[in-house]
């Protein structure tokens, strides 16, 4: 068991990895001798193969990586600290090393950690600073002169932090703590059947598939011509996970509910190319006719120059015929590949339609930039009773509309609208406090439990009858006791 666990923690060629430097993340696929730009620097990831995830590497000359050595203990001089910083004046003259000296050290091959040590030794005010000020100074210089990065294994939390820090608009400002609440409220687990409708670059879909572990069924509802799974690909799931994933277009949900659904059958339109057989046959017949006519005319002529011209023209026609045959063969191959892809897409769509017709989904998750009211009312028809559903929206008003419509139409209980909030803390000795910079909001969540509308009405009427009959029954008992 331990050997299999360690094998999964080893970086291999072709894996999707996440590069981390300070608070900056980037997801890439590891390939040999492939240049990668990260923080305005070219690097190669070849030397990270067969290393463990979570390892820290130094960027050496030429963009190569090498495992970072453990930090050496600081000498006695750097541990001396002053009582306070009142006598320190920031006049720009405390550092003896100039920019040219630092560049000369870099040319000699001195690495970032050694450069930082040189800066400490040549600083006239470092020993007079307090211990906290010294640590802050060292951290600032390391960030500037040490080129290090950490290679992490992709997961939902890391990828959510990456997108939220770099391109939050692509994931509808979805924060990783909100994503965790969505997975918990929707009761995502292995073996479940979940419907996912999201426009967050595939981040929510990937988080659901990661939580399910390759067991169960995931049906992705997508708008437009096809699903977007940029973030899902960054997870680097095994091929077996693709067997559990199905897709269905939103444009055909109404026809599926009205039982008028039928998969589209592709046909050749007026602007499409002709088949290679028809094209080649037509060209050959015309060429043969031209050659016959031209040959019959030349029999009557005896001029050698004209006969030579005929030979050149026929040779050119044969070359054109060969190139035309090559184009026809290429078009035929492209048409076959296109037809094969269309057949596969139609087959997957029919499988997803069959799964939706069962109307026994175990959960529903919606995280879209569209107004969720119409999506929710339509997709709830495919969810079995007594199952959870969760809707995420960046704003509160669309979820209030969903809440109102669900209360009017019935079919849902335990409705709850909540706002997620997260605050990061800096935890250091004698310096633990909330961080000054934090996100203003994490969006809103509407969750609930599905029920059949008939049962909901019966339960409500039963409660009303109980309230009206209880006083009458008490009055009857009192009259019987008095008599």
DSSP 161: H
Tell me the torsion sign for CA atoms 418, 422, 423, 425: positive
Task: Write down the pLDDT at residue 159.
Answer: 95
- The Cα–Cα gap between 141 and 136 comes to 9
Between residues 69 and 354, the one the model is more confident about: 354
- Paired residues of 361 in beta bridges: 383
Q: Which two tokens stand for residue 335?
A: 């048409």
Q: Which two tokens stand for residue 309?
A: 């011209």
Average pLDDT, the chain: 78
Q: Which two tokens stand for residue 417?
A: 């609208």
Q: Is the pLDDT confidence value at 300 over 60?
A: no
Q: Is the pLDDT confidence value at 211 over 50?
A: yes
Q: How confident is the model at residue 483 (pLDDT cuts 50, 70, 90)?
A: low
Between residues 236 and 337, the one the model is more confident about: 236
Report which secondary-structure segment, H or E, holds 326. Answer: helix 304-357
Report which secondary-structure segment, H or E, holds 89. Answer: none
- The Cα–Cα gap between 483 and 470 comes to 20
- The Cα–Cα gap between 220 and 205 comes to 8
Give the mean model confidence (pLDDT) for residues 434-439: 83
Residues 64-76: pLDDT tens digits? 888 876 544 444 3
Task: Write down the pLDDT at residue 317.
Answer: 63
The phi, psi pair for 362, rounded to 5°, reads: -90, -5
DSSP 83: S
Cβ atoms within 10 Å of 457's Cβ, excluding its own: 11
Task: Write down the pLDDT at residue 284.
Answer: 39
Residues 100-135: pLDDT tens digits? 777 777 777 666 777 888 788 778 777 778 877 888
Residues 146-193: pLDDT tens digits? 778 899 999 999 999 999 988 899 999 999 999 999 999 999 999 999
Between residues 146 and 345, the one the model is more confident about: 345
Task: Write down the pLDDT at residue 130.
Answer: 81
Q: What's the pTM value of the predicted model, to 2 decimals?
A: 0.73
Residues 23-40: pLDDT tens digits? 889 999 998 888 888 888
Residues 379-432: pLDDT tens digits? 999 999 999 999 999 999 999 999 999 999 888 999 999 998 888 898 988 889
The lowest-confidence range among 167-176, 210-219, 313-322, 388-397 is 313-322
Q: Is the pLDDT confidence value at 370 over 80?
A: yes
Q: Is the pLDDT confidence value at 356 over 70?
A: yes
């Amino acid at each position: 068991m331990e050997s299999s666990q360690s094998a999964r923690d080893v970086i291999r060629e072709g894996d999707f990895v996440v590069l981390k430097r300070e608070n900056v993340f980037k997801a890439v696929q590891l390939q040999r001798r492939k240049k990668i730009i990260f923080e305005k620097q070219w690097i190669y990831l070849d030397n990270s193969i067969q290393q463990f995830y979570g390892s820290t590497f130094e960027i050496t000359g030429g963009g190569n990586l090498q495992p970072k050595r453990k930090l050496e203990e600081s000498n006695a001089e750097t541990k001396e600290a002053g009582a306070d910083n009142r006598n320190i004046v920031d006049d720009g003259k405390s550092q003896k090393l100039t920019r040219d000296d630092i560049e000369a050290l870099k040319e000699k091959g001195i690495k970032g950690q050694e450069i930082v040590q040189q800066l400490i030794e040549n600083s006239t005010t470092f020993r007079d600073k307090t211990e906290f000020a010294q640590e802050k100074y060292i951290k600032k210089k390391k960030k500037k002169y040490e080129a290090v990065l950490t290679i992490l294994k992709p997961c939902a939390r890391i990828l959510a932090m990456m997108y939220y820090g770099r391109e939050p608009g692509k994931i509808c400002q979805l924060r990783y703590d909100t994503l965790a609440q969505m997975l918990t409220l929707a009761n995502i687990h292995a073996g479940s059947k979940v419907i996912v409708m999201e426009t967050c670059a595939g981040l929510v879909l990937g988080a659901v598939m990661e939580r399910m572990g390759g067991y169960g069924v995931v049906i992705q509802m997508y708008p437009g011509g096809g699903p977007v799974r940029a973030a899902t690909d960054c997870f680097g799931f095994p091929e077996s996970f693709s067997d559990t994933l199905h897709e269905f277009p939103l444009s055909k949900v109404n026809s599926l509910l009205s039982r008028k659904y039928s998969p589209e059958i592709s046909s050749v339109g007026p602007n499409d190319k002709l088949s290679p057989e028809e094209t080649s046959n037509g060209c050959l017949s015309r060429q043969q006719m031209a050659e016959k006519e031209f040959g019959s005319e030349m029999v009557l002529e005896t001029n050698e120059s004209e006969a030579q011209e005929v030979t050149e023209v026929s040779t050119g026609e044969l070359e054109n015929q060969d190139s035309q045959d090559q184009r026809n063969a290429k078009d035929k191959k492209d048409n076959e590949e296109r037809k094969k892809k269309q057949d596969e897409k139609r087959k997957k769509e029919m499988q997803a339609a069959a799964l939706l017709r069962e109307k026994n989904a175990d959960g529903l998750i919606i995280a879209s930039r569209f107004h969720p009211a119409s999506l929710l009312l339509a997709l709830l028809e495919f969810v079995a009773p007594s199952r959870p559903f969760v809707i995420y929206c960046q704003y509160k008003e669309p979820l209030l509309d969903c809440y109102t419509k669900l209360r009017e139409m019935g079919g849902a209980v335990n409705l709850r609208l909540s706002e997620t909030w997260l605050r990061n803390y800096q935890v250091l000795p004698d310096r633990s406090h909330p961080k000054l910079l934090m996100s203003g909001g994490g969006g809103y969540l509407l969750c609930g439990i599905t029920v059949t509308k008939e049962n909901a009405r019966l339960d409500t009427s039963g409660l009303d009858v109980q309230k009206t009959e209880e006083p009458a029954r008490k009055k009857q008992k009192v009259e019987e006791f008095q008599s």
